[in-house]
Structure 1
């Protein structure tokens, strides 16, 4: 008998704009961990990145449009960070979601390998595992983190099987291989500025919204 879906995933990003690579990775991780849902969380003011080019409202609307086609897949837009003032600290988001779901539900914080490699620069980063598991989506050619502090953190808490996700609500690091799609929001913004086709990179609903609202039409938006 297959295991019933268990726990929730959190997939954050600026989603500036949301593209098919984001959706593919989120869905693969949801399926790999047999999650009840994957919550995709747009960051309002990411402390470790440049200010997003698209406004908070536009980025949330594009995410909602993209996920309107994914309702049956359990991908959900969550605006939890958009109502807070100041930088969007991941620990604050995790704490708020843990309070919502209770102490027994498993939570997996999904990160790309680039984000995980710099996790020691995050606010109270070691405390993340007190609240959730960390799932690192790796790509071909990925090696171990070069930062010794991050490497030791990974080795100490790395899980040996997905079963451990279902056995505890938090505390483990999972390294997961995902299907590589060489797509970036920066490249999409550049293509939009140059009037190049992006139909294979964006959901149709998002492409239409960008066109209707004349987004990413300034030189600043390709940086």
Structure 2
């Protein structure tokens, strides 16, 4: 009598969105962390078109995409730069994560495990996002710490903490679920921000500015891809004003 093997695992797609203005080592470290934890089949990077909670982007869409291609060139699984939010924003409307996840769910089907990655700073503001509760019906969340931001429930907005309390799961459980689970990772100790990078570009002499920028980007953190991003920024005179 033939015996059936273990059930086939659903396809797992890790999704990392953001302004990436510019991309930095913290973004890549977040993706690598969850690639290790979840072993996803694919990684989607989604540069924002017009993020509604942020001021105007300083770098153009093509420059941000080019920097992302450099930054994620050596990440496994191979990253796909998905421009759908940029395309949607071409009519001048802001872009929302919930709309992106609706689109991805329609594309990938009901069974695929979609894991939307974010830092603890974003989780602390989750209740300000458009239709934020609907996110759990569309995807899982993968949330990582960053210095200065607490993942403890008492540090979260009460409504967010309540939603998370019943959804916390191991990486394996998140990997096996289409949506509705949350994996918290306490092991990402990278303190890099795009705001600090832009400030470094506008401060001091050229030599001081370059040194500050290397540190802010993470180019000194055994991250050769960030050195390539730094070269791109300098060659294209980005963020000078």
TM-score with structure 1 setting the length? 0.88
Give 1:114 deviation, angstroms.
Answer: 1.2
How far apart, CA to CA, are the structure 2 residues paired with 1:167 and 1:211? 43
Aligned residue number for residue 53 of structure 1:
58
In structure 1, what is the equivalent of residue 198 of structure 2? 189
Give the counterpart of 2:167 among 151, 157, 166.
Answer: 157
Aligned equivalent of 1:148: 158
How far does the alpha carbon of each residue in 1:128-156 deviate from its partner, in whole angstroms, 9 at most, with x for none? 11111011112356232342111111113
Aligned to 2:181: 172
Question: Counterparts of 2:36 and 2:9 in 1: how far apart (Å)?
Answer: 12
**Deviates further, 189-198 or 88-97:** 189-198
Instruction: State the SS of the aligned residue for 1:151.
Output: helix
Distance 1:73 1:162, change over 3 A: closer
Instruction: Name the counterpart of 2:70.
Output: 65
Q: Structure 2 CA distance, aligned partners of 1:113 and 1:94?
A: 19
* Moved >4 Å (runs of 4+): 3-6
CA distance in 2, matches of 1:146, 1:32: 24
1:82 to 81, 86, 105: 86
What is the alpha-carbon distance in structure 1 between the residues aligned to residue 176 and residue 69 of structure 2?
32
Post-superposition shift, 1:31? 1.3
1:118 aligns with 2:121: no
Shift of 1:173: 1.5
In structure 1, the gaps of 5 or more residues are 219-223
Listed one character per residue, the Cα deviations across residues 81-124 of structure 1 (whole Å, up to 9, x for unaligned) are: 11003111111101111111111110001111111111111111
Q: Which runs of no fewer than 5 residues in structure 2 stay unpaired? A: 1-7, 220-225
Distance, in Å, in 2 between the alignment partners of 1:91 and 1:7 is: 18
Separation of aligned partners in 1, 2:11 and 2:32: 15
**Structure number, greater radius of gyration:** 2
Contact 2:41/2:77 (<8 A) preserved: no
CA RMSD of aligned residues (A): 2.0
Is 1:27–1:73's contact at 8 Å kept on the other side of the alignment?
no
Match of 1:100 among 103, 107, 129: 107
CA distance in 1, matches of 2:197, 2:144: 21
- Judge conservation of contact 2:16–2:31 (CA < 8 Å) in 1: yes
1:51 counterpart SS class? coil
Deviates more, 1:4-13 or 1:89-98: 4-13
Task: Answer with 131-140 or 4-13: which moved more.
Answer: 4-13
Call closer, same or farther: CA 1:5–1:138 in 2, change over 3 Å.
farther
The alignment partner of 1:157 has SS state of coil
Query: Following the alignment from structure 1 to structure 2, what is the Cα–Cα distance between the partners of residues 56 and 91?
Result: 21
